[in-house]
C-alpha cells in the first residue's frame, strides 16, 4: 500500500473528501432536469477544488497561487450550494450541513495560505 505524503494526511484533505462524498450522494438524487445542469456544476467545482489542493501540496514554486485558485474554486462551490438550496434541491438541514463543512474547509485553507505567506515573508527582523 503506498504511503501518503504528509500534506495529503492534512485535515483539509480528509474533510474535503468527506464533503465531496456527501455531496455526490446528494446530487445523484437531484431531479433529472437538474442533474445535467446544477448537479454537474456542483460536482465539477468540488472535484476541481480537491485537484487544486493536491496540486498545491505537490508544488513548491506556485503553492500560494494555486491555493488562491483553490479559494476561488471554493467560492464557486459555495455559490452552487446556495443556488441549489434556493432552487429547493437541498433542504434547510442539508444546506446548513454543507455550509458548515465549507466554512470549516475554508478556515483550513486560510490557515494553509497564511502559513505559506509567513514562510515566504521570512523571519522578522529583531
Written as nine digits, the cell of 87 is 432552487
Predicted local distance difference test score (pLDDT) of residue 71 = 97
Domain 8-119 has CATH 1.20.1440.60: yes
Average pLDDT of the residues in 101-121: 90
For residues 57 and 5, is the Cβ–Cβ distance under 8 A? yes
Residue 3 has pLDDT above 50, yes or no: no
Buried/exposed code over 20-54 (b: 16+ C-beta within 10 A; e: otherwise):
beebeebbeebeeebeeebbebbbebbebbbebbb
For residues 64 and 5, is the Cβ–Cβ distance under 8 A? no
Closest to 33 in 3D by CA, of 89, 86, 108, 73: 89
Average pLDDT of the residues in 56-70: 92
Local confidence band at 125 (pLDDT 50, 70, 90 cut-offs): very low
* pLDDT tens track for 74-107: 999 999 999 999 999 999 999 999 999 999 999 9
Written as nine digits, the cell of 93 is 438541514
Q: How crowded is residue 68: how many other Cβ atoms within 10 Å of its Cβ?
A: 16
Domain range list for the chain: 8-119
Written as nine digits, the cell of 107 is 478556515
Residue 1 has pLDDT above 70, yes or no: no
Amino acid at each position: 500500500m503506498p504511503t501518503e505524503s504528509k500534506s495529503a494526511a492534512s485535515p483539509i484533505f480528509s474533510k474535503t473528501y468527506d464533503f465531496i462524498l456527501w455531496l455526490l450522494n446528494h446530487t445523484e438524487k437531484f431531479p433529472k432536469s437538474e442533474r445535467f445542469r446544477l448537479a454537474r456544476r456542483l460536482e465539477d467545482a468540488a472535484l476541481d477544488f480537491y485537484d487544486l489542493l493536491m496540486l498545491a501540496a505537490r508544488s513548491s514554486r506556485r503553492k500560494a497561487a494555486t491555493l488562491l485558485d483553490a479559494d476561488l474554486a471554493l467560492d464557486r462551490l459555495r455559490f452552487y450550494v446556495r443556488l441549489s438550496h434556493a432552487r429547493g434541491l437541498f433542504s434547510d438541514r442539508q444546506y446548513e450541513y454543507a455550509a458548515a463543512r465549507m466554512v470549516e474547509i475554508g478556515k483550513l485553507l486560510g490557515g494553509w495560505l497564511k502559513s505559506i505567506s509567513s514562510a515566504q515573508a521570512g523571519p522578522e527582523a529583531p
